[in-house]
Amino acid sequence: MNNVRLACALVPSESEGHCSWFFRFCIDCGVVLTTVPDMSDLGFGIIAAARAVGIELKFCTLHIIRNLTSKFGKLFRQEHHNLIWESQGALQEIQYTAGLADLAVACGEQVQAYVANIDPVKWVIYPNIKTTMLYGWSTTNCVESEHNTSLMNNIRYSLPFPFVSAFVNFMRHDFKKKSDRAKKWIAEDRKVTPGALKAYDQQLQLAGQYATEPVSDDIFHVYSTTRLPKFKRRVVVSNRECSCAFMDQNGIPCRHFIASMLAAGTAARIFDSFDDVYLVSVYASVFDGAFVLPPIEEELYESNLLPPRERPSRPGPAVSRRIASAGEHETSHHYRKRCSSCKEYGHNKRSYTDRNTNQAASI
């Protein structure tokens, strides 16, 4: 899976009105937003706008962790991050509930209450099983890496036309690359995309560790031959269905399903069990021959808008830090100063002691 840039816009702020305007233009132009998982941070504007236009947002787990760090810096620390990731990956409600209990013990009731108040449908796997395929997504971090690239290239500080032109050029290059890739895969007679095939190969290597018990010509019980106690999964071949969550959430045959097809002697039809999004024919129908036409200068019309006032630049190297997301501390970076006494950011133990001394002296 990777990102495909479909639209961009310049707005004064991430308000509900501006986000609604952007969503409605995307929908009017044919961008599908209501039948696929859409992931975002926990910004109030984008959440309200998505609700208004009927988009079911999923929340980024990394942003939840950052919000917890920002709100509960003394209680929620680096060693507690895995508790949130484990809760996000819960395949059953009982696992999610146990994760919240562990969070309460490790970080306190305040942190546990904050996480419990986030609807699990918005970010945890188990409520989405059999309802919404998330394709393994849990974070928008890959998008933020692109935001960092745009910051490095000074795109965000460009005037409107250079900004749009640069972004559309990204899209032009991306679509051209994918169009060429589609032609190549068709010429190679590929059935599924290489990324999906790689994930399938990982499951195929594990399928040999499983035995099958046929219930009918279509239903199999599958269990591991290397683990005890014996824990069975149910596979229904005709429905492309396994009781594990991997195939349901990723749309790629899991080790249990592969073992069942091998036992049934129908492994030659395994590619029919991939979700349609991984088929080269579907990929080619979207990108083969597709292109993006960037605007050129002569298409501009005269405007009475004034350019923004120039800001004096600070001496020193150019800033390359990623712009903070909603809920994240604006001055956060990999090496933020943190006090070992009070666990707060922005000062160290020595300056904290000096501050307490000065306060005591003033009293």
Q: How far is CA 122 from the centre of its chain?
A: 12
Burial grade of 117 (CB within 10 A; 0-12, 13-18, 19 or more): exposed
Task: Indicate whether 176 and 204 sit together in one domain.
Answer: no
pLDDT score at 361? 47
Count of C-beta atoms within a 10 Å radius of residue 330: 7
Of 358, 355, 321, 327, nearest to 341 (Cα)? 355
84 with 170, same domain: the answer is no
Contact 278, 251 (CB under 8 A): yes
- What is the helix (H) or strand (E) element at residue 97, kind and residue range? helix 93-107
Domain boundary (86, 116, 147) is at 147
Which tokens sit at 282? 């579907």
Q: What is the pLDDT of residues 197-216, one digit of tens each?
A: 999 999 999 999 999 999 99
Q: Is residue 323 part of a domain?
A: no
92 with 24, same domain?
yes
The stretch 271-287 carries a mean pLDDT of: 91
CB 37 within 8 A of CB 135: yes
- Picking from 183, 195, 168, 159, the residue whose alpha carbon sits closest to that of residue 278 is 195
Tens digit of each residue's pLDDT (9 = 90 or more) over 248-272: 999 999 999 999 999 988 888 999 9
Of 13-17, 45-49, 99-103, 318-322, minimum mean pLDDT range:
318-322
Whether 313 is covered by a domain: the verdict is: no
8-16 contact pairs (CB < 8 A, 24+): 8/164, 8/167, 8/168, 10/160, 10/163, 10/164, 13/45, 14/43, 14/45, 14/46, 14/326, 15/45, 16/44, 16/45, 16/48, 16/49, 16/52
Residue 60 lies in a domain: yes
Average pLDDT along the chain: 84
Residue 237: phi and psi, rounded to 5, are -65, -45
Omega before 214 within 30 of 0, i.e. cis: no
Whether residue 341 lies inside any domain: the answer is yes
For residue 321, report the phi and psi dihedrals to the nearest 5 degrees: -75, 145
Is there a single domain that holds both residue 73 and residue 203? no
Least reliable range by pLDDT among 112-121, 171-180, 308-317, 347-356: 347-356
User: Which residues are bridge partners to 214 per DSSP?
Assistant: 220
> pLDDT tens, 133-172?
888 888 766 555 555 555 546 777 777 778 888 888 888 8
Range of the domain at 173: 153-189+286-295
Give the 3-state secondary structure percentages of the chain, helix then strand then coil, rounded to 5.
50, 5, 40
φ, ψ of residue 111 to 5 degrees: the values are: -65, -45
Q: Are residues 21 and 140 in the same domain?
A: yes
Best CA proximity match to 250, nearest among 305, 195, 302: 195
CA-only gyration radius of the chain, Å? 25
Residues 129 and 39 in one domain: yes
Q: How many CB atoms lie within 10 A of CB 306?
A: 6
Domain count, the chain: 4
Q: Is residue 49 part of a domain?
A: yes
Q: What is the dihedral of CA 96, 100, 102, 104, to 10 degrees?
A: 180
Within a domain: 321: no
Task: Clarify whether residues 81 and 132 are in a common domain.
Answer: yes
Do residues 179 and 107 share a domain?
A: no
pLDDT at 335: 53
pLDDT band at 60 (very low <50, low <70, confident <90, very high): confident
Q: Are residues 243 and 167 in the same domain?
A: no
Contact 257, 273 (CB under 8 A): yes
Q: 261 with 200, same domain?
A: yes
Q: How is residue 101 written in tokens?
A: 């209990």
Q: Is residue 11 part of a domain?
A: no
Residue 279 φ then ψ, to 5°: -75, 135
> What's the start-to-end Cα distance of the chain, in Å?
60
Using CA atoms, how far apart are residues 338 and 96, in angstroms rounded to an integer? Answer: 31
- Given a cut of 90, whether residue 88 has pLDDT beyond it is yes
Residue 316 belongs to a domain = no
Are 21 and 98 members of one domain? yes
Same domain, residue pair 21 and 143: yes
Select, from the ranges 232-246, 301-315, 344-358, the one with the highest average predicted confidence (pLDDT): 232-246
Q: What is the pLDDT of residues 323-340, one digit of tens each?
A: 565 555 555 555 566 777
Residue 175 predicted with pLDDT over 80: yes
Q: Which amino acid is at 288?
A: D
